[in-house]
Amino acid sequence: MIKFNQYYVASISLVVAVIIFTHDSHAESRRDSDIQSIDFKNFAYPASDVAAEITKKKSIRVQNGEYKNFKDDEFREDSFSFSVESVSYGDITGDGKEEAVVDTSLTWMGGVQQDESRIYVYTMTEGKPKLVLVPDIANQIDRDFSRYNKSNDPCEDGVFTFSAIASKGGLLKVDAVLGNPHACYDERKGYPMASMSYRISDNRWILVEPPTFWRQK
């Protein structure tokens, strides 16, 4: 009887331990995957080279998706604005967890107005958002577009700006405006556009298929 009780107590203890371990594992998994709980509209982003030079800061904190440094004159050379254009989610690294893709834009004055699009990709590690260390996709888009661009049309000679969102299929979809939109807009056809899809592998942006060309009114 005593041996039976000891075995019974040991069995109960093992079951309880398994339940606790399973619960903790699931809780940890939820913490590591719940990237959508992070408020990226009120968040600090590492500053690009341009932003760091203007602000003399290593990061830019947005409130309600925006940071402005216009001071008393928005046309001063040190005036700029930084905004979060969109936040989307998808498993673009293929690790089984969602990443957050934050599409941002920076506008500053340097004699004339200039713009910079920048993509930040975050994952969750130990319950905290962590920046995925991947090369800047803007330069990658330019290189990939140049490889496939066979047009002699000056309105399709390069990427002017772009937007990017994560797809449910685990890809980053990029829609790029080509040429100069002020000079190249056609009232009948619209803006010249190119769409490109990427995934992340070994901390590199990989183009999945050749660009598709289209027009957006």
The residue that leads in pLDDT, 113 or 68, is 68
Q: Is residue 166 part of a domain?
A: yes
Residues 115, 181 share a domain? yes
Q: Is residue 143 part of a domain?
A: yes
Please write the tens of the pLDDT for every residue from 44-58: 999 999 889 888 889
Residues 103, 200 share a domain? yes
Residues 122, 28 share a domain? no
Residues 105, 11 share a domain? no
- Under 8 Å between Cβ of 60 and 40: no
Q: What is the mean pLDDT of residues 31-43?
A: 86
Please write the tens of the pLDDT for every residue from 105-159: 998 876 667 888 899 999 999 999 999 988 789 999 999 999 998 888 888 788 8
Q: What is the 3-state secondary structure (H, E, C) of the chain?
A: CHHHHHHHHHHHHHHHHHHHHHHHHHHHHHHHHCHHHCCCCCCEEECCHHHHHHHCCCEEECECCEEECCCCCCCCCCCEEEEEEEEEEECCCCCCCCEEEEEEEEEEECCCEEEEEEEEEEEEECCEEEECCCCCHHHHHHHHHHHHCCCCCHHHCCEEEEEEEECCCCCEEEEEEECCHHHHCECCCEEEEEEEEEEEECCEEEECCCCEEEEEC
Is this prediction's pTM over 0.85?
A: no
Q: Is residue 125 part of a domain?
A: yes
Residues 176, 101 share a domain? yes
Residues 211, 105 share a domain? yes
Number of domains the chain is built from: 2
What range does the domain containing 191 cover?
84-216
pLDDT at residue 22 in the model: 40
Whether residue 7 is predicted with pLDDT greater than 80 in this model: the reply is no
Q: Is residue 68 part of a domain?
A: no
Split at pLDDT 50, 70, 90, the class of 185 is confident
pLDDT at residue 152 in the model: 81
